[in-house]
Structure 1
């Protein structure tokens, strides 16, 4: 028997790089969503009391989720800003920057003094860090998905759905990690959890940041960006052209809004609601963890199916 050619025994350099990019997107988005969702979970449990103590309990909860909303309001701006500079400077450099911003923002939240220590500056600093996180995740998720798709376009264009799902898997994986860590610290006595236990999940984000950066530094720049560097630059920023014909963008946003609304309710408001109605913190966080584990299975399966039957039927289903 003749020995198999090298290409049959091992993947090509492009395929190996695609796998590395997919892993980088998975880890990067997991770090981003761990940080983002830890905030939502802890805000539902204690932030109303710690950062808005003089408000009515219901008003304090609303204020805590108002800082959560600040992160969401900043996300589109982050997508525009980091997308713009990603086209100019490179995808990889922007992805490294967004990961650092997100990880450091989360770590600093874990160090924030509460209202009792510095008064009104506590919620002001909290909102500021939430905006930084929102900007970062707005640039991270779009940039990481784009990086995977551009690498997949070159090597395995027919499986773009499956490969891009690795980036999307970071959301439920980050949810599993955040719910797991918060579940552990929420088992502390209530006074200890409020005194220092809530800080632990935020401080641990620095470990995830180090792992994510280690993998991301080994990723090659997008081949399509390398090719585009030698082409003439457009006269106007792409966002201007998009906003001149906003209908496709608005339709695409409406397609995704249901899933994102459900995710926000699941990882934020539902936790506060259930705890207020008699469920324990570990029970609620266990439910969130189970739901995220289901998503880890369904996401790649649905993405692979979309490569066979099309995106629209899968989204409609």
Structure 2
């Protein structure tokens, strides 16, 4: 049964025009696609070549663990970047933060493409790689909150879920671009060429994408609800601290609700690339192509679930997605273990649907948990806290299989975190009827599960 969204109350900004909403959502989508492309190509390179280029002095397993450890550094940096960007995003605006995060990400990514390997720089090569990965994570930590809020705050009240899902599409699009680039290079280059210089092409080529992203983002206007806060000089001096003080439960529950979605994304897009090619006899190009197809399938599903959340609610989408993921964890890894790419893809499609049920409505759901003065801070902290455990998922999966010798240990891990996310989602506030919180709303003013005043 659909819910009726109330009209804006007196004193609130007028509902944005649909044309403006589409323009801002499109700009957010393009910008996030470029940033996530930069972030994800590191994961693919870590799975395929970084162990040999930057950690050649150790055995292959240790080299893979070291490469995934460097990959995880970006996720450790994300909450730090999220907090810093959120502080200024809630004080001076969403738009400047989107520009700065894109510049930082671009500089770090191009730097990786130009970085000599261990054979040239010795121990300084992996040290510099980890440093640049930290800067990447710091930049992307500020990206999601700004892009999601700009789209949601510009959207009409009855379409926040739908337009909030547009920047979410930047994640699969960025992954498709990165994976497809590596797949093409892997297909046309010899192994020696790919290892020597081919893997650097996606990193250095990012400089052109950053230029496009900058041109688009400089044309985006500040969101009307935040501009109203600035006009009233109501911006918080310490928004991150105030968000932690005012909304601790909301931040932790939102982080928990996103844990399984974020973690399983990196299990499939990073860890399985290594495991499937090294242990299950899949061809490297075949797995990269399958992952690119699966990421493309995400796009319509994310938009659909975002739209459905505008009629059925945000929380039901989260609960359905995580419940199905918990039930499908073991069958999924059985399909993967067959070494049949068609069954691999079939299982991946089901998992993608489970994640999309969360990822589609997420921007609107998280944004609606917090008031305007602390919205960037609260939403970013929740997202990036979940990202820490998501980033170490490839490392955990490698360790679990090495310890148990069984792929089903990873299935158990996926089922467990899906249940954790389902529980957190159940305890969150349904926000479809209440919409964006105004400055007078407090967490205690809304019932924690139904969203009823």
TM-score exceeds 0.5? yes
Give the alignment of 1:9-88 within 5 angstroms: 14-88=17-91
Please say if residues 90 and 221 of structure 1, whose CA atoms lie closer than 8 Å, have aligned partners that are also in contact.
yes
Paired residue for 2:130, among 127, 131, 137? 127
Q: 1:9: which partner in 2?
A: none
SS in 2 for 1:131: helix
Give the alignment of 1:114-263 within 5 angstroms: 114-152=117-155, 156-187=156-187, 188-233=189-234, 237-244=238-245, 245-263=247-265
SS in 1 for 2:43: helix
Give the Cα–Cα distance (whole angstroms) in 2 for the partners of residues 289 and 213 of structure 1. Answer: 26
Q: 1:314: which partner in 2?
A: 317
Give the Cα–Cα distance (whole angstroms) in 1 for the partners of residues 128 and 173 of structure 2. Answer: 28
Give the Cα–Cα distance (whole angstroms) in 1 for the partners of residues 229 and 199 of structure 2. Answer: 46
Compared CA separation, residues 167 and 234, structure 1 to 2 (3 A) = closer
Post-superposition shift, 1:238? 2.1
Please say if residues 33 and 170 of structure 1, whose CA atoms lie closer than 8 Å, have aligned partners that are also in contact.
yes
Give the Cα–Cα distance (whole angstroms) in 2 for the partners of residues 220 and 15 of structure 1. Answer: 15
Deviating more after overlay: 107-116 vs 202-211: 202-211
Give the Cα–Cα distance (whole angstroms) in 2 for the partners of residues 302 and 15 of structure 1. Answer: 19
Q: Are positions 1:108 and 2:104 aligned together?
A: no
Post-superposition shift, 1:20? 1.9
Q: 2:395: which partner in 1?
A: none
Post-superposition shift, 1:18? 2.0
Post-superposition shift, 1:225? 2.2
Post-superposition shift, 1:234? 5.9
Deviation per CA, 1:249-297: give whole Å up to 9, x if none: 1111111111101111112111111111221111110111111011111
Give the Cα–Cα distance (whole angstroms) in 2 for the partners of residues 25 and 142 of structure 1. Answer: 11
Deviating more after overlay: 281-290 vs 234-243: 234-243
Deviation per CA, 1:223-266: give whole Å up to 9, x if none: 22221113344665122123234222111111111110111111
Please say if residues 86 and 240 of structure 2, whose CA atoms lie closer than 8 Å, have aligned partners that are also in contact.
no
Please say if residues 91 and 237 of structure 2, whose CA atoms lie closer than 8 Å, have aligned partners that are also in contact.
no
Deviating more after overlay: 215-224 vs 136-145: 215-224
> C-alpha root-mean-square deviation of aligned residues, in Å?
1.5
Please say if residues 17 and 219 of structure 1, whose CA atoms lie closer than 8 Å, have aligned partners that are also in contact.
no
Compared CA separation, residues 100 and 192, structure 1 to 2 (3 A) = same
Give the Cα–Cα distance (whole angstroms) in 1 for the partners of residues 138 and 236 of structure 2. Answer: 26
Deviating more after overlay: 222-231 vs 40-49: 222-231
Post-superposition shift, 1:14? 3.9
When the two structures are superposed, what TM-score results if normalisation uses the length of structure 2? 0.65
For CA contacts below 8 A with separation 6 or more, give which structure has more relative contact order. 1
Give the Cα–Cα distance (whole angstroms) in 2 for the partners of residues 219 and 149 of structure 1. Answer: 14
Post-superposition shift, 1:15? 3.2
Give the Cα–Cα distance (whole angstroms) in 2 for the partners of residues 235 and 208 of structure 1. Answer: 34
Give the Cα–Cα distance (whole angstroms) in 1 for the partners of residues 74 and 254 of structure 2. Answer: 21
SS in 1 for 2:231: coil
Structure with bigger helix share is: 1
Please say if residues 17 and 220 of structure 1, whose CA atoms lie closer than 8 Å, have aligned partners that are also in contact.
no
Give the Cα–Cα distance (whole angstroms) in 1 for the partners of residues 234 and 215 of structure 2. Answer: 32
Post-superposition shift, 1:301? 0.3
Give the Cα–Cα distance (whole angstroms) in 1 for the partners of residues 140 and 235 of structure 2. Answer: 26
Q: 2:298: which partner in 1?
A: 295
Please say if residues 36 and 133 of structure 1, whose CA atoms lie closer than 8 Å, have aligned partners that are also in contact.
yes
Deviation per CA, 1:107-144: give whole Å up to 9, x if none: 11100000000111111111111111111111011110
Give the Cα–Cα distance (whole angstroms) in 2 for the partners of residues 29 and 232 of structure 1. Answer: 29
Give the Cα–Cα distance (whole angstroms) in 2 for the partners of residues 297 and 39 of structure 1. Answer: 25
Give the Cα–Cα distance (whole angstroms) in 2 for the partners of residues 131 and 307 of structure 1. Answer: 36
Q: Are positions 1:96 and 2:99 aligned together?
A: yes
